[in-house]
Each structure stands twice: as C-alpha cells, then as structure tokens.
Structure 1
Amino acid sequence: MRGRRLAWLLVPGLVLLLAGFLIPSVIMIFAPPETAAAEVFARLGQMLTDPYDLAIIGRTLGLGLIVTIACVVLGFPTAYLLARSNSRWSGVLLAIAIFPLLLSSVVRTFGWLVVLGSQGALAQALVALGVVSEAPQLLYTPLAIVLGLLQLFLPLAIVACYSALAQVDASLDDAARGLGAGRARTFWTIVVPLSWPGVVVAATLVFAGSVTAYTTPYLLGGSRQRMLSTQLYTYSSTTIDWAAASSIAMVMTVLVFAVSAISSLIGRKARVE
C-alpha cells in the first residue's frame, strides 16, 4: 500500500516531464515545422559526411571533453579539502566555491570579454611582462571557450564531488594511515574509489552542459569557433533550416546520452570492483 502511494506521488512529475520535455523534444528532433522526418535523416546523412559539419562536431566533442577533465581535476581536490576541513570557515569557503552558480552565465561570460579582449587585462599584462610585443587576440579562440565553460561548470563539479566525499567516513582515512598508508596512497585507494560515483555524476553533468551551452560559446567563440549549439541557433533562427536544426539536435542528444551511458558503466564497474 505504501509503495502504491509513493508511485502515485510520482505521477505529477512524470506527466510534467512527458508533456513539457519528452514530447516537445521528440517533435523538435523528428517532426520539426513543415519538414518531414525523411528530410531530417537525409540532412543528418549529409552532415555526417560534410567536413565543415564534422569539424563542428569534433570541436564540440573535443572542447567538451577538455572542460570535463579540467573541471574534475580541479573540482575534486577542492571538494576533498572542503569536505575534510575542520575549520569553522569551511561552510563559508564552500559557499564561495559555489557562489558563481548564483550569477547569470551571461554576466560571467561578459567578464571574460573584458579579460580576454585585445585591450583586456590579460593581453595588457602579457605585453607589460614582455612575453609578447603586441596584445594578442585571445577572444574567439578555443582557449576562450574552454576558460568560459570552465568557470561556468567548475562550481557544479565541486558540488557533485563534495556531496559524494561528505558521505565517505573520515575515520577511514585515519584507519588507513594508522595501518601505514601515506596520504597519497590513502587518497587514491580509499577516498577516490568510495567517492567515484560523485566523480561520474560531476563528469556527466559538466559534459552535458558543455556540449549544449550556447551563451558562452557564442560570446567567446563567435563565428570563428562554431559549436553545435551556436550552429543550431543559426539554422533555427537565421537560415530557418529546420531539417538541419533537427539534425544537430539529434547529434547533440546522441552525444549526451552516449557519454551518460559510458559514465554509468564506468561507475557501475567501479562499484563492483
């Protein structure tokens, strides 16, 4: 009886998910306005053989993986220090680490426009230090996109890793060191395996957000460094090519689900071991 009541509680959320997300997504991908499904798949076939479109797919996948790896490498140690800190300021430090999540992505991205512009702080600093003779153009480069997405999703990675690390009993660290294990060995053989599900969740969320983000790639990459999200906007709002837009949406969906499936397999294998 209790299980049946709990199941009924899920019904409103499932209905909202079905009506507000799944059905519109399927229509957008397979049956866009005034376009047959055959046209969508024909355009998808062209996209997968066109060097220009393949370059955009490769750039999106590559930058997404770079941002994911960077967020995990930087976010996990930060989350570990925060989770193991006994300082009374640990809560304040955690709030500072995740504070960027409270700011609009547009605001954060515009900050990079100021820093990376030809007259920006970073370019002027490089000139002042004598590293370069004239201010370099750092905007509209892959580096600019990576920096913007890194700032955008690093707090998310910290939160996901922190939630997993907080559930790992700190006394296990003391027990391992009491048996002769060093800090590094304790970290890699105790902490990382037990908190691996949080790492998998962080990597999945960051990758999904990176390959589907629009504002940051658009402002920092411009037309020189197109990604799938910016190309999707061009097809749906500028050229009004619904078949091409649906094809890109299909590719983005497949990428996200494929990485999510791989992450789930890795997390499941880690738990088994």
Structure 2
Amino acid sequence: MRNRATPALLLLPGLGFLLIGFLVPSLAMLLAPPRTNTADIFVRLGRMLTDPYDIAIIGRTMLLGIIVTAICVVLGFPIAYLLARSQSRWAGVLLALAIFPLLLSNVVRTFGWLVVLGSNGAIGQLLTGLGVVDEAPQLLYTPLAIVLGLTQLFLPLAIITSYSAVSQVDAGLDDAARGLGATQTRTFWDVVLPLSLPGIVVAATLVFAGSVTAYTTPYLLGGSGNRMLSTQLFSYSSVTIDWAAASATALIMTVLVFAVSAVSSAVGRKGATT
C-alpha cells in the first residue's frame, strides 16, 4: 500500500501548483472576469459567432494555423528522420542547430522578419536589384508574413518532437524491410511513418495550438489588417477593456485548441493500434 501511495503523494505538489497557478486563473478569466457577469460573456460569444468581422478573424486564425502546422510537419518530419537515422558523428551537432532557434527570443526572431520583409528589406532589394519588379512588393503585414514568422517559430518544435518519435522506432525494422526487398522510400512510407504517427500527431497538435494562440508574431508581422484571435484578445483586454468580449475570445481559442487536441488524440490512438 505504501508503494502504491508514493507516486500519488509525489504528484500532489505539481497538481496543487497546476490547480492554483493555472486552472483557477484560467477559469476566472473565461467565466468570471472583472465587473462582468457570466451571462454577458455568452451573449457576447453569440454575437461573435454571428458577426462577419469576428467570423473572418476566427477563420483566418484557423486557416493560418492549419497552414503553419502542415508546413512544419512536412518539413520537420523528414529532417527529424534523417537526423535520427544518421550515423554521422555530426548528427548531434546538426540536431542542436535545428533546435537552436528555440533558445532565441521570439521577439528577436520576429524583428528579423521585419528587416527581411520590409519594403526596404533584403527580399525587396533583391527583387528590384534583379529587375524582377520595378517596386518592392508589400510582403510585410500580410498573411504570408504571419505564416513565415510562425513557421520559423514552431518548426524547431516540430523537429524535436518528431525526432523523439522516430528515435523510438527500432532501426532494425528498416533493415528488415530492406532485406525483404523494400526500397528506402517504401520503408519510410510503410514502416517508419505509420509507427511514428503518434509522435507526428503530437507535433501537429503543439504547432497548431501555438500558432492559434501566438501573439507577438501576428501582432508585429500581420498589422491591424490581419487580426487573429490572439491580437483581438489583447485589444479587448488592454485597449477597449471589454472583458466580456475578451473572455468570449478566450473561450473560442480554448475550444479550438481542445477540439484539435481531441481529434489528434483519436488519430494518434488509431495509428498506434494499426
């Protein structure tokens, strides 16, 4: 009995901290913000779900989140696969370089995109210098700028998560498949990819959740003409001080993340059992 109770006792401090430091403030923000009734929140939520302006923001947030997630998974998993299966002594160094951007501030990385995508930035000067265009295109404050910034932000996360999943797939299975006549490409698609699916699902979930809730990158790269739910939430809570609208926006973001997490969990379980 003592051995069984020990793990539970060890979990109590962390669960208590999670309850007091995360769950209680989150519920207070979602359902009981300052000077606002819970009924007002749901009234505002109903208005947002019928207002074309708010619907456009929700749709833009979901669309950009899906695009960023797809790009990060498509680019991150092959990189993770090559690093996990590499026999080179430089594999560890390459992995460290791949995830090094995680050590840099998000603000620093985003300001880098301001320099690159600005009208006088590197891309604009390159295009005009080559004579491709007469005037530098407006790349900043566009959905493309948001996608580029979020992709750079979350690609290292997709790589490290996928790397962990591929590393758990026995490399001997690759050799066995090739010994039975399968090509390296078919081994990748028929052996490694299905067995790594739960890890890929986790990577996609983390990237999507981060993309739809990120604030700094959409704010700096998207401008006021490409608002997302996170920037709209900041506006409601810090500019107009509309707590009902802020809580309704936070509820939409929370439901989006939990819905995608539920779907991802179902896909991951199905992949693990096949």
TM-score by length of 1: 0.99
Q: Distance in 1 between matches of 2:22 and 2:129?
A: 51
Tell me what 2:252 maps to: 251
Unaligned runs of 5+ in 1: none
Kindly provide the CA deviation profile for residues 71-120 of structure 1, in whole angstroms up to 9, marking residues without a partner as x: 00000000000000100000000000000000000000000000000000
Partner of 2:177, secondary structure, is helix
Identity %: 74
Q: Matches of 2:202 and 2:161 in 1, distance apart?
A: 7
Residue matched to 2:34 = 33
Output the CA distance in 1 between the equivalents of 2:81 and 2:200: 11
How far off is 1:3 after superposition? Answer: 2.1
Residue of structure 1 equivalent to 2:142: 141
In the other structure, the counterpart of 2:98 is 97
Backbone CA RMSD of aligned residues: 0.6
- Give the residue type in structure 1 aligned to 2:126: A
Q: Distance in 2 between matches of 1:13 and 1:30?
A: 24
Partner of residue 118, structure 1? 119
Q: Distance in 2 between matches of 1:238 and 1:180?
A: 64
Q: C-alpha displacement at 1:169, in angstroms?
A: 1.1
- Which letter does structure 1 place at the counterpart of 2:160? V
1:130 is displaced (CA, Å) by: 2.4
**TM-score, normalised relative to structure 2:** 0.99
Q: Distance in 1 between matches of 2:267 and 2:109?
A: 33
What SS does the aligned partner of 1:119 have? coil
Give the partner amino acid of 1:210: S
Aligned to 1:77: 78
Partner letter of residue 258 of structure 2? F
Equivalent residue letter for 1:109: T
- For the residue of structure 2 that corresponds to 1:132, the secondary structure is coil
Amino acid at match of 2:50: T
Task: For 1:184 and 1:89, locate their aligned partners in 2 and report how far apart those are by CA, in whole Å.
Answer: 23
- What are structure 2's unaligned runs of at least 5 residues? none
Matched to 2:140, the amino acid is L
How far the C-alpha of 1:221 sits from its partner, in A, is 0.3
In the aligned structure 2, how far is the partner of 1:137 from the partner of 1:111?
A: 16
Match of 1:51 in 2: 52
Q: Tell me, in whole angstroms, the C-alpha distance in 2 between the residues paired with 1:255 and 1:35.
A: 23
